Structure 1
Amino acid sequence: MSATAETLLPFDDVLAAFDPALGLEVHVELNTATKMFCGCSTVFGGEPNTQVCPTCLGLPGAMPVVNGKAVESAIRIGLALNCRIAEWCRFARKNYFYPDMPKNFQTSQYDEPICFDGWMDVEVDGETFRVEIERAHMEEDTGKSTHVGGATGRIHGADYSLVDYNRAGIPLIEIVTKPIVGAGERAPEVARAYVQQLRELIVALGVSEARMDQGNLRADVNLSLAPKGSDVLGTRTETKNVNSFRSVERAVRFEMQRHAAILQGGGSILQETRHWHEDTGITTSGREKSDAEDYRYFPEPDLVPVAPSPEWVEELRGTLPENPTQRRARLQAEWGFSDLEMRDTVGAGALGLVEETIAAGASPQAARKWWLSDLARRANDTGVEIGELGVSPAQVAAVQALVDAGSLNDKLARQVFDGLVAGEGTPEEIVAARGLAIVSDDGALTAAVDAAIAANPDVAAKIRDGKVAAAGALIGAVMKEMRGQADAGRVRELILERLA
């Protein structure tokens, strides 16, 4: 069956017949200066295959050494997720053949992760869901394959493939949840909220840029369906490398509908990896999913065990940032937001953006207004995350400062945001280049007011008779004549001076 011919069951019908179970695997690329087992640079965007050495290329005789900063970051992530920290753990070799891993094995952790048995509470529309963490383990990233030719950009049908090993060996932490059950219709939203909150936590810890657009944070979405009321998990699929919050939610919903259609039709689910297609919002088959034993894990003989002392772990616990739930409660109280306003802010992925905009000088309500109305609409229209629009919190605060100073009104400010999204410069430069500043010069305003009075004698007569509310019509006429750039307050004063 082709990708475009997938049969989907309506979402309500899925919920009537099945219970979903979620599993999320999130890979976090650490921001260490060097790779996991060698001294090569981790700077993003270097020329292909220039940040490599015998160790990360897997050349014979090269010996790895564990990056101590990566171990520290792993422990801090585990503590922030309420995990237990292993007193002793080892690395293992995960064996498989794939061209982006030149050693033909990935150095990872298997049955001895550094962090395990944790949890994180996430909130969706006022309802709290506890996501239990199975493990958070250390490993190295693979290289980047580029498949040239063909219609899909994937290896099947490509003319040839190129591999960039700059990314091979960059430290990763893989955070794996236990099955998330009981979410029902909220399952897609719970998945999104978890990844969103996890990213907030990672950024607060300072261990990664966590930019999904650069691959610093990647989510694999596991999903299965079981007949309603059954306590046996169904066969799962794993949708790989979903790279935005919105796509995590969409991928869960799509797979629920796809699984249900197959099961209702008498078919069975193939345990496999799936590819997510951002443009069409569908998944397509990747490869049959391997079980852990198929990778032939065995202990890495070239690396010593990792044994963090209890004293060091407790020292690191003291460096943890504020708990996300407590932080949201504090910010809500400081900003004076209602429960609904705060839920909408968090749900839009704008909490950090609003916080930074306020820190840059905007009022809480002004910061929320811009991010959740005009900017959220633009993000939705273009299909990107709100933080990827190319507009910074400092710029939003600068636009609001111009509004507060009377240089702009909200209508003109929206045109400034047009310029910011288009990369036309700073807010001040855009105002000057587009000629957007509000006109408050009495000479120009008086001429426009006199023209509006002459063109609307009936309205002018009403104002002379004491019906001051009628001034709104003349103000509107002046604003239209001056393309919305008149100082409305001063226009009103001039109208009343002329007619009162």
Structure 2
Amino acid sequence: MSTLIRGYEVVIGFETHAQLSTRSKIFSRAATTFGAEPNTQASAVDLALPGTLPVMNRGAVERAIAFGLAVGAQIAPRSVFARKNYFYPDLPKGYQISQYEIPVVQGGVVEFYLDQEKKQVRLVRAHLEEDAGKSLHEDFVGMSGIDLNRAGTPLLEIVTEPDMRSSEEAVAYARELHKIVTWIGICDGNMQEGSFRCDANVSVRRPGAPLGTRREIKNLNSFKFMQQAIDYELRWQIEELEDGRAIEQATVLFDPDTGETRAMRTKEDAADYRYFPDPDLPPLVIAPAWVEQVRSALPELPRAMAARFVADWGLPEYDATTLTQSKAMAAYFEATARTCGQPKLASNWIMGEVSRRLNAGEIGIDQAPVAAPALGALIARIADGTISNNAARQVFESLWSGEGADVDAIIESKGLRQVSDTGALEKIVDDVIAANPDNVAQFKAGKDKAFNALVGQAMKASKGKANPAQVNELLRKKLSG
């Protein structure tokens, strides 16, 4: 279902540059390490010195194949490199080696959940290309510096159809794509270092009308800024249209300090880049055996793991998809579920209390103070009736804060063990019935609220330690007798 804003339909497509995790560049042996001194990782090939020729990095191709397999795309048996011509100071050759007419990865789908609704975004392509250098403006007065360390760094550019209909859906797609590339190990996903850079093509239209003119928001390097930028751009475009002004195709930047987008340049089309096949590089030929070799080396993919969680652990599909947001989260769940034998309870705790604490502390699951076996032991004590849910939260707090590491020891030290002894509970129930004749009469007259009041009195009398299920059962038995 499309999201309408003031009667306009939102249309969003993405172009994402994932820096591939090779040790050397796509066409040279120069290193790709981040943070080196400027221009210390730029070889003669990267600098485009006369007489140098590019040589394809096999590892970059294998990572592109792995991505294609992960999203169910077609791997082109033969693809071609092209020269994309434009003139920036940080582009030594005066062109970028990329792919245009025949990319290595064609099609594919990225699936994810948004508010428990399953979404799909179709991919057009993913193609290999080299990165440009970087222009440095901040450290020089009246001049710009050029750092060519990034020049030639291998990128996989992943292009979607304009399938997204809200900023929330766009961010959910970007998070899922980030998960895929980091899960299969083709990209480290570090957005602050520029390893995963997203460009959002944003437009609006009246429902049923042709696609509107798009503006491309460049280099969004955090999910938070991504949503802010798209939301601002949508409001801006709608206001322009409602004021009678046309939208001009453009490339824009987002300023996180002002929360606004601003035009950088008129958006180029493919014709402006004058693509033509690169004469220095032969066609990239990928044999079926190579594809199968890459396939056999892939880890269990998120979608396959989620399907296994449904089949083996009996989880709902939403839970399974949420728990496979990262390898670490999935491993934490399985370790917890194996310990307690209660997969749905384990899922509820991880998706609930554990995730809430992680988000509040801005830490990952691998940094959680409560190890999976400890959480599993806690859930086991809930399942066997040793403690109530309220008591479990107190135990969890002690585990998280580091007050203790042994679940049973915490239960004993805090006196949280539930009273499950039938004789003791019968006495409490008998006393409550005797002390509350009005509630008893109301319950027998068909008022369920009176029964809840009796349960509350029994729990109060036990100082919260009575097993609620047993209290309910004993009360009903005695009141119906």
What TM bracket, shorter-length normalisation? 0.7 to 0.9
Question: Structure 1 residue 145: deviation in Å?
Answer: 2.6
- 1:104-155 per-residue CA deviation (whole Å, 9 max, x = no partner) reads 21111122211223323333234333322111111011223322169xxxxx
- The residue that corresponds to 1:220 in the other structure is 199
- 1:429-467 per-residue CA deviation (whole Å, 9 max, x = no partner) reads xx9xxxxx989889xx9xxxxxxxxxxxxxxxxxxxx99
Question: Structure 1 residue 370: deviation in Å?
Answer: 4.8
- Per the alignment, do residues 396 and 163 of structure 1 end up closer, same or farther by CA in structure 2, a change over 3 Å counting? farther
Give the match's secondary structure for 1:355: helix
- Per the alignment, do residues 168 and 396 of structure 1 end up closer, same or farther by CA in structure 2, a change over 3 Å counting? farther
- The residue that corresponds to 1:38 in the other structure is 28
- The residue that corresponds to 1:316 in the other structure is 294
Counterparts of 2:372 and 2:38, CA distance in 1: 40
- The residue that corresponds to 1:85 in the other structure is 75
Alignment map for 1:390-429 (pairs within 5 Å) = 391=364, 393=366, 395-398=368-371, 401=374, 409-413=395-399, 415=401
Output the amino acid matched with 1:327: M
- The residue that corresponds to 1:236 in the other structure is 214
- Greater mean deviation of Cα atoms: 357-366 or 263-272: 357-366
Q: Is the 8 A contact 2:71 2:109 kept in 1?
A: yes
- The residue that corresponds to 2:112 in the other structure is 122
Output the amino acid matched with 1:179: P
Consecutive unaligned residues of structure 1, counting only runs of 5 or more, are 1-10, 151-157, 380-388, 417-426, 432-436, 446-465, 476-500
Consecutive unaligned residues of structure 2, counting only runs of 5 or more, are 341-345, 379-391, 416-456, 466-481
Question: Structure 1 residue 261: deviation in Å?
Answer: 1.3
- The residue that corresponds to 2:154 in the other structure is 171
- TM-score, normalised with respect to structure 1: 0.70
Counterparts of 1:311 and 1:179, CA distance in 2: 34
Output the amino acid matched with 2:94: N
- Per the alignment, do residues 400 and 367 of structure 1 end up closer, same or farther by CA in structure 2, a change over 3 Å counting? farther
- Per the alignment, do residues 268 and 34 of structure 1 end up closer, same or farther by CA in structure 2, a change over 3 Å counting? same
- 1:310-368 per-residue CA deviation (whole Å, 9 max, x = no partner) reads 3323443444444433322333565665566557x46xx95544224346768735544
- 1:12-51 per-residue CA deviation (whole Å, 9 max, x = no partner) reads 8x53422222211111111111100000111222222221
- Greater mean deviation of Cα atoms: 122-131 or 138-147: 122-131
- The residue that corresponds to 2:360 in the other structure is 377
Give the match's secondary structure for 1:26: strand
Output the amino acid matched with 2:146: V
Counterparts of 1:103 and 1:20, CA distance in 2: 38
Alignment map for 1:103-114 (pairs within 5 Å) = 103-114=93-104
Alignment map for 1:432-447 (pairs within 5 Å) = none
Report whether the alignment pairs 1:71 with 2:49.
no
Counterparts of 2:292 and 2:99, CA distance in 1: 23
- The residue that corresponds to 1:457 in the other structure is none
Paired residues, number:
400
Report whether the alignment pairs 1:330 with 2:330.
no
Alignment map for 1:5-404 (pairs within 5 Å) = 14-148=4-138, 159-180=142-163, 184=165, 187-230=166-209, 232-331=210-309, 345=322, 351-358=326-333, 364-365=346-347, 366-379=349-362, 389=363, 391=364, 393=366, 395-398=368-371, 401=374
- The residue that corresponds to 1:461 in the other structure is none
Give the match's secondary structure for 1:160: coil
Output the amino acid matched with 1:227: R
Counterparts of 2:78 and 2:319, CA distance in 1: 45
Counterparts of 2:15 and 2:144, CA distance in 1: 27
Give the match's secondary structure for 1:254: helix
Counterparts of 1:76 and 1:403, CA distance in 2: 35
Counterparts of 1:215 and 1:142, CA distance in 2: 12
- Per the alignment, do residues 201 and 350 of structure 1 end up closer, same or farther by CA in structure 2, a change over 3 Å counting? closer
Counterparts of 2:293 and 2:205, CA distance in 1: 44
Question: Structure 1 residue 78: deviation in Å?
Answer: 1.8
Give the match's secondary structure for 2:121: strand
Question: Structure 1 residue 167: deviation in Å?
Answer: 1.5
- Per the alignment, do residues 209 and 359 of structure 1 end up closer, same or farther by CA in structure 2, a change over 3 Å counting? farther
- TM-score, normalised with respect to structure 2: 0.72
Q: Is the 8 A contact 1:357 1:396 kept in 2?
A: no
Counterparts of 1:323 and 1:404, CA distance in 2: 29
- 1:46-79 per-residue CA deviation (whole Å, 9 max, x = no partner) reads 2222212111111122211111111121122123
Q: Is the 8 A contact 1:26 1:217 kept in 2?
A: yes
- Per the alignment, do residues 159 and 326 of structure 1 end up closer, same or farther by CA in structure 2, a change over 3 Å counting? same
Question: Structure 1 residue 399: deviation in Å?
Answer: 9.0
Counterparts of 1:403 and 1:119, CA distance in 2: 35
Counterparts of 1:310 and 1:401, CA distance in 2: 46
Output the amino acid matched with 2:41: Q
Output the amino acid matched with 1:66: M
Counterparts of 2:253 and 2:144, CA distance in 1: 18
Q: Is the 8 A contact 1:141 1:169 kept in 2?
A: yes
Give the match's secondary structure for 1:258: helix
Counterparts of 2:365 and 2:156, CA distance in 1: 28
RMSD: 3.6
Question: Structure 1 residue 239: deviation in Å?
Answer: 0.7
Identity of aligned residues (%): 37
- Greater mean deviation of Cα atoms: 158-167 or 329-338: 329-338
Question: Structure 1 residue 257: deviation in Å?
Answer: 1.9
- Per the alignment, do residues 99 and 414 of structure 1 end up closer, same or farther by CA in structure 2, a change over 3 Å counting? farther
Counterparts of 1:360 and 1:299, CA distance in 2: 52
Counterparts of 2:208 and 2:201, CA distance in 1: 20
Output the amino acid matched with 2:189: A
Q: Is the 8 A contact 1:403 1:410 kept in 2?
A: no
